[in-house]
Amino acid sequence: MVVLVQATVLTVSLDGRNEILRELPIRLVAKQSGIEAARSLKNEDVDSVISKWDLDDMKDGRFLKALRAAKPGISTIALITAGDKAQEIAARSLGVSAVLTDESDDGFFRETVANVLGLKGHIPIEALCRS
């Protein structure tokens, strides 16, 4: 069975959340730091970026701010700390495509990513494999 990849998504410091996205018809490029992600953006053709707002090496949304300045047309999803209104306001003011909290359940997280990528109504890859 062949599943066509419909987007390449760079994730930054998402840890276990990457596994949730494996059902989508996307190619994941997972990085743990802002510096690694920035290097990857130079070498990869990326359609979307999902990143924690506060990275170990780039606090206060510095990575997403630099990304939006360098590539304003790329779809981005910011993962913020639940209940942190300052992070939410800053992320929304930046113009990201979506804002999720670190407490978002897996299904909502996956569905939001699918919607941002235009994959609404997708068939999960695992369902295709069972057919």
Gyration radius (Cα) of the chain, Å:
14
pLDDT, one tens digit per residue, over 22-69 is: 889 999 999 999 999 999 999 999 999 999 999 999 999 999 999 999
1 lies in a domain? no
pLDDT for res 122: 56
| Number of domains composing the chain | 1
Candidates 58, 124, 57, 40; CA nearest to 49 is 40
80 lies in a domain? yes
54 lies in a domain? yes
Question: How crowded is the C-beta side of 78, counted as CA atoms within 13 Å?
Answer: 29
Q: What is the CATH number of the domain that holds 42?
A: 3.40.50.2300
Domain extent at residue 81: 7-130
Q: Is the dihedral of CA 127, 16, 64, 110 positive or negative?
A: positive
Quick check: 43 and 81 in contact, CB under 8 A? Answer: no
Q: Which of the four pLDDT bands, split at 50, 70 and 90, describes residue 2?
A: very low
63 three-state secondary structure: helix
107 lies in a domain? yes
Tokens of 34: 């802002």
Please, is 35 exposed, middle or buried when counting C-beta atoms within 10 Å of its C-beta (0-12, 13-18, 19+)?
A: middle
pLDDT, one tens digit per residue, over 67-83 is: 999 999 999 999 999 99
pLDDT for res 98: 97
111 lies in a domain? yes
91 lies in a domain? yes
On average, the pLDDT of the chain sits at 90
pLDDT at residue 127 greater than cutoff 50: no
Q: Is the dihedral of CA 52, 58, 63, 64 positive or negative?
A: positive
70 lies in a domain? yes
